[in-house]
Amino acid sequence: MIDCDPGIDDAIALFLAYASPELEVAGVTTVAGNVGLDQVVDNALRLCDLIGGPAAATPVLRGHAGPLARVPRHPDEPVHGAYGLGGVELPAAARAAHPGHAVDWMAEQLRGADPGEITLIATAPLTNVAALLHIHPDTRALLREIVVMGGAAFAPGNTTPAAEFNFHADPEAARYVTESGVPLRIVGLDVTRKALTPLADADALVADGAPVTTAAGQMLRHLIDRYARRHRVRACAVHDALAVAAAVRPELLEWTEAWVTVECAGEFTRGALVADVHGRTGLAPNARVATGVDAEAFRAFLMSRLCGHYGAATTPAP
């Protein structure tokens, strides 16, 4: 299951997930984040239709429209451009969202599967995930693990000096999930900022000419243009795609065990991920935190999967 808020990097994450035979995507659940919930749902439907095949029949469900605590969040910068997909206009969705609420649907899927069969990849604010674990506590024992894109344990934030966007958007939810006892892997800004996609790769995707590769390249060009203006580099992070890669090829990253939580009260640190890697709290580790990444291997993996699965001249993806 993929819980997301498309978003350019969510779009690339979905493309990668459906291009990875190791994964069978049971459904896509949505939550407000990069853009509002209505736009997120519409984007997810359009993206799944563009991917086609099994994705076009994958249930897409509406989740929460705001954070658990209903505290106004830091205003979003227009990182993702018009409609959240960098101004790329995709064909209108051919279907509506699946009936029901995302949280209840996730619980039904977990109860209908063998314990430990389902991994939840969360690339958005953790509102839906926290609600799932709170409203349906039996599902904690049913999940194989949760792979989260969020936080910045050892690096500055991207929304405040201390906090990454997903955790800052709903700190209470992020804290609830980190302290839930469910096996957890965290892919934060510490590693996503090290695994950049260069302009040459975006251009190569557009030049390929297939519908998905073209859309992916155009979205990445938008993000790279923003990085060039803001950070003076012709490359961009695709945060959420690295979380999918972590679920498929965890050996691409380096991991350390830590006790983690999320700060909810700090005047300047609200939403910050706290990771005790040295055992100073005396609390047992509750997560594996990514601390390093083979950036070139990830770049090659992403391009191979996208071009190999969707490209105009497809070749088997490794």
Please provide residue 235's backbone torsions phi and psi, each rounded to the nearest 5 degrees: -165, 165
What count of other Cβ atoms lies within 10 Å of the Cβ of residue 226?
Answer: 18
Per-residue tens of pLDDT for the chain, all 318 residues:
999 999 999 999 999 999 999 999 999 999 999 999 999 999 999 999 999 999 999 999 999 999 988 766 654 557 888 788 999 999 999 999 999 999 999 999 999 999 999 999 999 999 999 999 999 999 999 999 999 999 999 999 999 999 999 999 999 999 999 999 999 999 999 999 999 999 999 999 999 999 999 999 999 999 999 999 988 999 999 999 999 999 999 999 999 999 999 999 999 999 999 999 999 999 999 999 999 999 999 999 999 999 999 998 764 444
CA-to-CA distance for 10 and 12, rounded, in angstroms? 5
Whole-angstrom CA distances from 253 to 13, 79, 148, 154 are 16, 26, 14, 15
239 catalytic per annotation = yes
Amino acid at 231: H
Could you give the domains of the chain? 2-310 (3.90.245.10)
Q: What is the pLDDT of residue 73?
A: 61
pLDDT recorded at residue 82: 78
- Residue from 168, 222, 239, 309 carrying the catalytic annotation: 239
Helical segments of 85-170, H only:
102-111, 127-135, 165-169
Joined together, the tokens standing for residue 264 give 């909810």
Q: Report the greatest alpha carbon distance in the chain.
A: 55
Q: Which residues lie below 8 Å from residue 117, measured CB to CB, with a gap of 6+?
A: 144
Task: Categorise residue 284: left if φ over 0, alpha if ψ from -120 to 50, beta otherwise.
Answer: beta
